[in-house]
Amino acid sequence: MGYIEPAPITDKENPFESMMERFNIAAEKLGLDLETYEVLKSPAKQVIVSLPIVMDDGHKKVFEGYRVIHSNTLGPSKGGVRYDLDVNLDEVKALAAWMTWKCAVVDIPYGGAKGGIKCDPSVMSKGELERLTRAYTVKMYEVFGPDTDIPAPDMGTGPQEMAWIMDEYSKAQGKTVQAVVTGKPLVLGGSLGRVEATGRGVMVSTMEALRKMKIDPTAATVAVQGFGNVGSNAAKLLAQKGLKIIAISDHTGAFYNLDGIDLREASEYRATYKTLEGYTGGSKITNDELLELDVDVLVPAAKEDVINNKNADKIKAKLIVEGANGPTGAKADGILHKKGIVVVPDILANAGGVTVSYFEWVQNRLGYKWTRDRVNRRSDRIMKEAFERVFSVADKHNVSLRIASYMVAITKVADTYKLRGSF
């Protein structure tokens, strides 16, 4: 273990500070006492490991791995593991805290955590990724556990990585422990509906917001930034509800088609080429141009800080639904608010993923499998109830949905902390 300097974040906002700015506003509105404030803002545990891996060409390469447990007040900590070159301690800390607030907003019995490995999975072989994932799991034996800390997929990871984590953890336990990780392949105890769950929650939040805003969904246009698991599923499910998806993008660029993007064709293209580069189903624009399109709904479903104080005043969407974690920097909040743009924040909008992770964990512990219909029905209900809770707090206190979400979450964690004391 060692100390690693967080990567310098140039003109971008530091994600942890961005999270804290909102936390501070909500804490002040709630009149949170200083002691509870200090406890809630401090991550419970931060682990940094080095992972020496034998690469396919025989040389050894050392990767940095992280796991930050922000809180375990509500229950075992929960959160994904990200494989990305931009992974750094401050990002993982912010993402871990967002998991705490997210689980509290949707009222599931988990604390928050996040993990990450600084790597580029797109240039690694399957064997290299397996060795990396197993080495990470070995170093995290003491951290992970079905009653302590439960990883899941995030950017750059998916069911295969979760299968390796479950297998490696199970080896040490001498028995199969399915509930140590969620987002597993179906045959290993994964849940029906988990892959689409985050995108589905984004769709449900969008429909709820449009209803409140009295916008007819069948006349609404949408731009989706990011075409990974969250963006592609959100786009597909929104299109099924009659909304017209007029722009999509990935890291190589964006595509715009006023007649609507053929999502099946785009998904097939991406599955074949692993990228949207060269896609011809829309005219090519930049990611920045996509964000500034005159649409009803904008779904940022890629990375942090894409809407910031440089472009916030150029955003024309009426509604932003945050599929990604932290896509709007704190400095942009005020600008969007002033423009009357409604933002369904990440900790509410993308909570469908962790909600179905919770269902997966419950099913593993019950030894019983739910139907897709039951999973969808229950997660839709949780998302709608959470939206309603947040909306009424926003209304009552005259704050944005983001600050209201933090208020709901902080109240829940603070009340629990006060009742039980520290752990």
Q: Residues with catalytic annotation?
A: 114
Q: Tell whether 10 is in a known binding site.
A: no
Of 421, 405, 417, 350, nearest to 29 by C-alpha is 405
Q: Which stretch binds ligand GLU (CB under 6 A): 19-27, 46-54, 72-80, 301-309?
A: 72-80
**Shortest distance, position 242 Cβ to ligand GLU, whole Å:** 27
Distances (CA, A) of 251 to 31, 277, 326, 350, 358: 42, 9, 17, 20, 30
Binding flags for ligand GLU, 125-164, as an x/- string (CB under 6 A): ---------------------------x-x----------
Residue pair 301/346 in contact by the 8 Å Cβ criterion? no
Q: Tell whether 78 is in a known binding site.
A: yes
- State yes or no: residue 325 binds ligand GLU (CB under 6 A): yes
Residue pair 202/210 in contact by the 8 Å Cβ criterion? no
The residue with its CB nearest to ligand GLU is 80
Helices (H), 80-189: 89-105, 126-139, 159-173
Q: Which stretch binds ligand GLU (CB under 6 A): 74-82, 131-139, 167-175, 379-387?
A: 74-82
As a whole number of angstroms, the distance between CA 201 and CA 351 comes to 7
- Of 18, 77, 88, 182, which one interacts with ligand GLU (CB under 6 A)? 182
Count of residues engaged in binding ligand GLU, rule: CB under 6 A = 11
**Cβ closer to ligand GLU: 78 or 93?**
78
Q: Which stretch binds ligand GLU (CB under 6 A): 4-12, 216-224, 303-311, 349-357?
A: 349-357
Distances (CA, A) of 226 to 9, 170, 223, 406: 21, 34, 10, 25
Binding flags for ligand GLU, 6-45, as an x/- string (CB under 6 A): ----------------------------------------
Q: Which stretch binds ligand GLU (CB under 6 A): 9-17, 77-85, 258-266, 392-400?
A: 77-85
Buried b (16+ CB within 10 A) or exposed e, 310-346: eebeebebbbbbbbbbbbbbbbbbebbbeeebbbbbb
- Of 18, 232, 328, 350, which one interacts with ligand GLU (CB under 6 A)? 350
**Shortest distance, position 325 Cβ to ligand GLU, whole Å:** 5
Buried b (16+ CB within 10 A) or exposed e, 100-126: bbbbbbbbbebbbbbbbbbbebeebee
Residues sharing a CB contact under 8 Å with residue 169, sequence separation 6 or more, in sequence order: 137, 141, 144, 177, 180, 181
Residue stretches of the annotated binding site: 78, 102, 198, 229, 357
Binding residues for NAD(+): 198, 229
List interacting residues with ligand GLU (CB under 6 A): 78-80, 152, 154, 182, 325, 350, 353-354, 357
